[in-house]
C-alpha cells in the first residue's frame, strides 16, 4: 500500500464519521512527513464554509500557530471546490491528494484548476483519483439514502 492510500483510508474514516452523523461524507486530513497534524469532515452547520478541508486547515493552523502549511499534504475524499482550493493556495499547502472527482465544482483540475494555476501566488502539487471508487461509493450511498428518505416523506 502506498502512503497516499494509507492516508486516504484515514480520510475515508473521517468521511464515515460524517456519514454516521448525517453529514455529507467528505473527510480530510493534513499530513507533514508521516505525522497527521489535523483532520476534519463536512458539517451541516449554518456556516457554509464548514467543509472538511477548511476545518482541517483551520485546525492545523491553530495548533501550529502559523497559517503557512508549506511541506504539508492535504488528503481529501472529494476534489476541493473553489473555496477549499483557494484556502489550500492561501495556506501554501504543498500537495493535495484527492479521491473522487467533483464534476459539479471541482477546482483541482476537473472543472477549474485553482490548485495548479500558475497565475496565483502558490501552486499545489495535485494527485487525483486515489482510492476513487471507495471515495465515490460512500458519497453515492449517502445521496441515495437522502433521496429515499425525502421520497418516503412525500408518500
Contact between 79 and 98 under an 8 Å Cβ cutoff? The reply is yes
Note the pLDDT of residue 50: 96
pTM of the model: 0.94
Q: What is the pLDDT of residues 62-86, one digit of tens each?
A: 999 999 999 999 999 999 999 999 9
What are φ and ψ of residue 82, in 5° steps? -60, -40
CA distance 35 to 97: 16
Q: What is the pLDDT of residues 19-64, one digit of tens each?
A: 999 999 999 999 999 999 999 999 977 789 999 999 999 999 999 9
Give the residue numbers annotated as catalytic, written as ranges. Answer: 53
Amino acid at each position: 500500500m502506498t502512503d497516499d492510500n494509507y492516508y486516504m483510508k484515514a480520510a475515508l474514516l473521517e468521511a464515515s464519521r460524517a456519514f454516521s452523523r448525517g453529514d455529507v461524507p467528505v473527510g480530510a486530513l493534513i499530513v507533514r512527513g508521516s505525522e497527521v497534524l489535523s483532520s476534519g469532515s463536512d458539517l451541516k452547520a449554518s456556516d457554509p464554509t464548514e467543509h472538511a478541508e477548511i476545518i482541517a486547515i483551520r485546525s492545523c493552523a491553530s495548533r501550529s500557530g502559523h497559517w503557512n502549511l508549506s511541506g504539508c499534504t492535504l488528503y481529501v475524499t472529494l476534489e476541493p471546490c473553489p473555496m477549499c482550493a483557494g484556502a489550500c493556495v492561501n495556506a501554501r499547502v504543498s500537495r493535495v491528494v484527492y479521491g473522487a472527482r467533483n464534476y459539479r465544482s471541482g477546482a483541482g483540475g476537473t472543472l477549474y484548476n485553482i490548485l495548479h494555476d500558475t497565475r496565483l501566488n502558490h501552486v499545489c502539487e495535485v494527485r487525483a483519483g486515489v482510492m476513487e471508487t471507495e471515495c465515490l461509493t460512500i458519497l453515492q450511498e449517502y445521496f441515495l439514502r437522502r433521496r429515499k428518505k425525502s421520497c418516503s416523506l412525500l408518500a
